Amino acid sequence: MTITLTPSNPDSFITLNGYRGVLDSTADLVRNPLSGIAMTVDGGTATGKGTLAKELARRYRVKFLDTGTIYRSVAWRLLDLGDDPTDPLAAEAAAKRLVFDFRHLGNNHFGTFVHGEDVTAAIRTPEVGRAAPLVAVQPAVRQALLDMQRDYVRHWQPLIGVVLDGRDTGARIAPKAQIKFFIQADAELRAHRRWLEFTAAGKEISEAQVLKDLLARDARDAENIICTPDAVVLDATDMDAAGVLRAAIAAVEERFGPVPAGILGED
């Protein structure tokens, strides 16, 4: 598997043990206030964990990794090849051969490229969303991707810090992370949020179908959605994204102390 983080300005590249990344407003060697810190944000589908993780990465200028994007990319690749996502041999082969390019596009937006093709939008379709958990529960696929994700943390954490967005990152990828978050919310609210995302993207699907798919995915993912005993649990049912972020910032500053406003990433 190949991971390349590509900025718009080639002069801002940094290479470390084979990983090539960008120093910018979300990851800055000089100014990032939580260098050496690993943060994990876990939870189920459409809980808002991705939004929180990206905001934390932007605010504290650390590297960001959306682990779900990797699994979605494998699922998309299988569907694109016409393979069955439930076929363990095909899924393992796709995971091991995946050429995955994670490009920072500015303003804390990340593009996903698989074998050179921009799949940022393609991997967010309902079809890929249904296939991804079928791929992710397969042991061979998880092992193929797990080592890469752990290595990613080992390289970037001591350099500039890292925040992971996933389901079990605090338990299986970065168990020694200095602070862990687990986000939860009612299923109906999560389904409504996901339906709004699909509608905004022009995808036709009923809210009832979204809820049905979400509940089915929750059942399949049950063993891989892990809230560790040391995680800060945030219930997003009665909080908007800004409220969840405020609660997370309060937890971070309680743990590590206040961060000087002048070095926070506010762009």
Residue listed under structure tokens 């095909």: 90
- pLDDT-based confidence at 265, cuts 50/70/90? low
Residue listed under structure tokens 């605090």: 170
pLDDT tens-digit readout, 54-67: 899 888 888 888 88
Stretch 127-151: mean pLDDT, rounded? Answer: 90
Judging by beta carbons within 10 Å of its beta carbon (0-12, 13-18, 19+), is residue 69 exposed, middle or buried?
A: buried
Rounded to whole angstroms, how far apart are CA atoms 187 and 130?
16
**φ, ψ at 51 (rounded to 5°):** -60, -45
Contact 156, 19 (CB under 8 A): yes
**φ, ψ at 69 (rounded to 5°):** -60, -35
pLDDT tens-digit readout, 19-62: 334 444 444 445 567 788 999 999 998 899 999 998 998 888 88
Alpha helices in the chain (DSSP H): 49-60, 67-81, 88-97, 126-136, 139-160, 187-200, 207-221, 241-256
Beta partners for residue 22, in sequence order: 13
Residue listed under structure tokens 């589908």: 45
State if pTM tops 0.95. no
Stretch 195-209: mean pLDDT, rounded? Answer: 91
Rounded to whole angstroms, how far apart are CA atoms 159 and 157?
5
Q: Which residue segments constitute the domains of the chain, with CATH numbers given?
A: 2-255 (3.40.50.300)
Rg (CA), the chain: 18
- State the greatest distance between any 2 C-alpha atoms of the chain, in Å, as a whole number: 52
